[in-house]
Homo-oligomer: A and B are copies of this chain.
């Protein structure tokens, strides 16, 4: 027998697992500061929850990790956390609104594996259900920005747009019959460049004049001055609404002290379900790429519940990308703070007794479990990078003071267990 992990899935050894845990804890803290509470949805949903036109969109169907269970039910490992949230809210109409929840968990996609893309990965989402106000859009943006800032990403830029403006642009060039197709092509701008988009628009049947106009508008980027150049879109209902919403959003972003945003009319976002505000966060450094994104999806939940529209807006952190960018900062091999070394065979019990006391004081403590000699114990402590080693021998027991060695600099000092617990603070 020799086994490996399933294609596209990963083991995380302690060094990576400790680091991921720290990052998720930081994100969670920020989400909670903004008043989002956790909710948990199952890993599996009925296939139809995802595979319907109000959810993830046709071109994503092939990437659902679906299967038939032993009773021939068609099930899907969850594709994202947004669609299950919509299902949860539809199942629980009694929830007070706004319903502000976060979820940090695993999702699965049946995609080709390439660098940085896995079939099992983690998402970190916050969503606000029930508020139509652009104040909610501003709040999820502020929350997402604060989370990446907490992780050390200061030089980031939130590009914002509104789907309604894209609808108006497509109306303006008289291509409304191809709206979804054109949207999807524009969405590829970052990936395939202007030439690529131009080619695909030609293939989609747009003429030179239409394409010229598309580029003229979607190349607009900036702050409020952008509105001067798109006032002609106000003659369309969608354009009027889109401009009003975007202006509202910007006012609220200022109240939330957000300065690093940019209106970018080329921003389209891939998923079908967005209806209004859309946004994407990237590093100012081109290498960083997109690290978060989201938007408003006012139609999805209503489709699930069969009732009237329930407004919703959310942001998802691209946490696998973020972790990849931060990976050099993973530097702990163990959560243990003190490794208690026993000098001789007889001191093994003394070592456990010292560990009992340190653990009661909240210090993460390990003792030798391998009946090893002193030198081998130190070797192990070195290998797992323990910050402190405590030496317990007959002499130490007699005087009630133990030798504490700081493994980062080799400095030793003698101290009582009480003093040691104060020197090595408990991990919270």
Contact = CB atoms under 8 A, between A and B. Distances in A.
A44 B9 contact: yes
A348 B11 contact: no
- Most chain-B Cβ atoms within 10 A of its Cβ — which of A17, A33, A35, A333? A35
A299 interface: no
A270 B321 CA distance: 43
B306 A370 contact: no
A148 interface: no
Interface string A1-28: 1111111011111101110110000000
A343 B240 CA distance: 31
A336 B35 contact: yes
Contacts of A101: 14
Contacts of A146: 359
A331 interface: no
Contact of A38 (B21, B52, B87, B95): B21
20 contacts: A1-B304, A3-B45, A3-B304, A5-B42, A5-B91, A6-B42, A6-B44, A6-B45, A6-B46, A7-B73, A12-B40, A17-B37, A17-B40, A32-B427, A35-B364, A65-B69, A67-B70, A98-B369, A135-B369, A256-B356
A414 interface: no
Report the 10 A-B pairs with minimum CB-CB distance, sorted nearest first. Answer: A35-B366, A9-B42, A14-B37, A12-B40, A67-B67, A17-B38, A131-B369, A35-B336, A96-B383, A33-B359
A296 interface: no
Interface string A124-160: 0000101101011001000000100000000000000
- Most chain-B Cβ atoms within 10 A of its Cβ — which of A120, A334, A371? A334
A130 B366 CA distance: 15
B384 A1 contact: no
A88 interface: yes
A349 B106 contact: no
A7 B70 CA distance: 12
A106 B43 contact: yes
Nearest to A88: B11
Interface string A62-106: 000111111001010100000000011011100111101100001
Contacts of A366: 34-35, 100
A380 interface: yes
- Most chain-B Cβ atoms within 10 A of its Cβ — which of A3, A21, A335? A3
Given A67-B69, A370-B98, A91 B4 contact: yes
A273 B126 CA distance: 42
A55 to B, nearest CB: 10
Interface string A300-313: 00011110000000
A130 to B, nearest CB: 7
Given A9-B43, A96-B384, A128-B369, 18 more contacts: A1-B304, A3-B49, A3-B90, A7-B73, A9-B42, A13-B39, A13-B95, A32-B335, A33-B364, A34-B359, A35-B339, A35-B365, A37-B333, A43-B106, A43-B120, A67-B67, A255-B349, A428-B428
Contacts of A383: 96
A362 interface: yes
A236 interface: no
- Most chain-B Cβ atoms within 10 A of its Cβ — which of A44, A70, A131? A44
